[in-house]
Structure formats: C-alpha cells, structure tokens
C-alpha cells in the first residue's frame, strides 16, 4: 500500500516566523512531488512542485526533497495570517496509470 504521511496538526506558528511542513512517502520510485494549499471551504491549489533532490525556492516558499530519505518538506518564510490553511503533500507514481497519492494534510495556523 503506497502511502504519503503528514502530521495532521494543527501547527501553530507566530506571524513572521518560519513554518515547516513535513511529508514522507513509501513508494521509493515516486517521480514528482507537490504541495497544495487548501483554504477552508475551498478547493486545493498547487503552490509548489519539486522533481529532483535539493531545494527549490519560489518567493516565501521553499520545497525540499530528499529521495534517499523519502522525505519532502515545505518551508514558509515570514509567515502571514493568510498562510493559515491546510497543506496537502502529493506524490506522483512512476506508472502513468497509477494514481497520484495525497497525504491527509497538515493544518497550519499563523498566530497574529
């Protein structure tokens, strides 16, 4: 059973601090890794993608991938109250006919 694990939270972070969200996956041959943000009552939206080991930065967001440890993380710098949402980690398989697997999400709460 291929799985993607996330701490459900809530993770509470003071405004202006760094929020660190973590995700582990079980399928070693997974191809690509994504972070989606979902506001309450809204649909998930893609905010970051990462395909190779290392860091990828986009504005205040940094995704980190370590395939050897099967670990993906998302760092949010200078956290804002508008970052309060559920963050979903998603992993795509090698097999094109296999499903994209989502974690259960981490609820992030930025404290003003």
Partner 1 sequence: DTAVSQTPKYLVTQMGNDKSIKCEQNLGHDTMYWYKQDSKKFLKIMFSYNNKELIINETVPNRFSPKSPDKAHLNLHINSLELGDSAVYFCASSQVDSWGDHTGELFFGEGSRLTVL
Binding residues with partner 1: total (CB under 8 A): 27
Q: Which of 10, 17, 26, 42 binds partner 1 (CB under 8 A)?
A: 42
How many C-beta atoms lie closer than 10 Å to residue 81's C-beta? 10
To partner 1, the closest distance from the beta carbon of 78 in angstroms equals 26
Asked if 88 is part of the footprint of partner 1 (rule: CB under 8 A), the reply reads: yes
How many C-beta atoms lie closer than 10 Å to residue 36's C-beta? 20
Integer Cα distance of 54 and 67 in angstroms: 9
User: Which parts of 9-97 are beta strand (E)?
Assistant: 11-14, 19-25, 32-38, 45-50, 54-58, 61-66, 71-76, 85-92
To partner 1, the closest distance from the beta carbon of 37 in angstroms equals 11
Nearer to partner 1, 78 or 95 (CB): 95
Q: Would you tell me which residues interact with partner 1 (CB under 8 A)?
A: 31-34, 36, 38, 42-46, 49, 86, 88, 90-94, 96-100, 102, 104-105
């Amino acid at each position: 059973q291929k799985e993607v694990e996330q701490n459900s939270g809530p993770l509470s972070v003071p405004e202006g601090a760094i929020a660190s969200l973590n995700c582990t996956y079980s399928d070693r041959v997974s191809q690509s890794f994504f972070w989606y943000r979902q506001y309450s009552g809204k649909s998930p939206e893609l905010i970051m993608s990462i395909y190779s080991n290392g860091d990828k930065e986009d504005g205040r967001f940094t995704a980190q991938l370590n395939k050897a440890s099967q670990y993906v993380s998302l760092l949010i710098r200078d956290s804002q109250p508008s970052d309060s949402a559920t963050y979903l980690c998603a992993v795509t398989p090698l097999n094109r006919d296999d499903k994209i697997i989502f974690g259960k999400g981490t609820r992030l709460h930025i404290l003003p």
